[in-house]
Amino acid sequence: MKNRILKNIEWGILICCVFLLLIGCVSLYSATGETGFDELKKQIIWGIISIPIMLIVIWIDYETIAKCSPIFYAIFIVLLIAVLFTPVRNGATSWFSITEDIRFQPSEFAKVFVIIFLAYIMSIFQKKDRNEINKPLKLLAVFSIVIIPVLLIIKQPDYGTAIAFIIATVLMLFVAGIDKKYILISLIVVVVALPLLYNFILPAHAKARIDVFLNPNLDPRGSGYNIIQSKLAIGSGQLFGMGLLKGNQTQLGFLYPKTTDFIFSVIGEEMGFIVAGAVIILYVILITKAVYVAKTAKDNLGSYIAMGIVGIFLFHMIENIGMTMGLLPITGVPLPFVSYGGSSLITNFICIGLLLNISGRRQKTIFID
């Protein structure tokens, strides 16, 4: 059994993650020199902690994990409520402070367990008939599972993570064979809702981010400062970069926060277009292989979990890289395996463990025509 699992595992996914982690550590080395490389050291420690967690996730059958998902879902709903009563940090109540240096972000871990629970419920719905997912009551149940954590995360506020939930859910429903009429209705609702959200619901700081995205020069010393410095950093790197510890925006403190949100800007400035392009290629390979795992999973459950993970990685990659280039609004979404952050790194390795788990037990293609 173990030999078959090892033989079937999509090792290319893990290889991509290792390369991304190494590039992230190199960029953190350059970005944290003035602080004694504190964040780099912590990232290495989190990476070491993540490896055994990933191995445990690989070897426990994902069906067993899915059966336990209702418990984990309930736990993280409680944590998402509790975190709202913690002190505000960086403008949000998103973290539990275990020590001064160690913080726990429940919304990161919630992404994984909400996806697993959602996949579990969807697979139960479709045991008798694949068209069950298109029944209004079943769709309402699916949306209820997702909307609760999404609203709690928006309350923090953390719009980027909330959008990641939505993207993952959309991809899972697409693979499940959701009727095209629901897709059309959703698109119409989004088109109608966007101006209403902007004018009547979004807080002032969120509106400012959108305005600055459309025109950074509206507030070059305030809301537009970060994106202007990020674009300068990426542009100045040219083909081969300015060299480690030699980037002007990075080393002179113009990029902030350079170890998390704008780590790709550090890569672009100091390592250049070639390495920055390689990062994008690695993500494309990782996501493509994850889609293949979903396509070849042995059952609906595995396919849905894999596609949910694809949604998370796809959104994080596009949003983080897009915002550093000024192509998308800034949301504070980390770059998987590259940005500094213990909760994010462990969550990402759990996702990789699930993908390897599903690929090791796959047998047939189950995508719905």
What's the structural domain count of the chain?
Answer: 1
pLDDT (tens digit, 9 = 90+) per residue, 191-220? 888 888 877 777 777 777 788 777 877 777
CA distance 130 to 133: 7
Asked whether residue 118 is assigned to any structural domain, the reply reads yes
- The answer to whether residue 346 is domain-embedded is yes
Name the nearest CA neighbour of 310 among 284, 335, 330.
Answer: 284
Residues with Cβ within 8 Å of 77's Cβ and at least 6 positions away in sequence, in order, are 148, 149, 152
Q: Is residue 246 part of a domain?
A: yes
Rounded to whole angstroms, how far apart are CA atoms 91 and 102? Answer: 18
| Cβ neighbours for 119, distance < 8 A, ≥ 6 positions apart | 66, 172, 301, 304, 305, 308
In this structure, is residue 109 part of a structural domain?
Answer: yes
Domain that holds residue 28: 2-360
Identify the weakest region by mean pLDDT among 29-38, 75-84, 140-149, 235-244.
29-38
**296 in any annotated domain:** yes
Q: For residue 1, what pLDDT is reported?
A: 56
- 299-352 tens-digit pLDDT: 999 999 999 999 999 999 999 999 999 899 888 899 999 999 999 999 999 999
Q: What is the pLDDT of residue 365?
A: 43
Tokens of 349: 């390795």
Residue 369 maps to a domain: no
10/351 Cα distance (integer angstroms): 13
Lowest-confidence segment of 25-29, 131-135, 140-144, 356-360 by average pLDDT: 131-135
State percent of the chain over pLDDT 70. Answer: 97
pLDDT band at 368 (very low <50, low <70, confident <90, very high): very low
Rounded average pLDDT over 94-118 = 89
The predicted-structure confidence for 115-165, as pLDDT tens digits, reads as follows 999 999 999 998 877 788 888 899 999 999 999 999 999 999 898 999 999
In a domain, 164, yes or no: yes
Q: What is the pLDDT of residue 310?
A: 97
- For residue 369, what pLDDT band results from cuts at 50, 70 and 90? very low
Query: Is the pLDDT at 232 greater than 90, yes or no?
Result: yes
25 in a structural domain: yes
What pLDDT score does 5 carry?
76
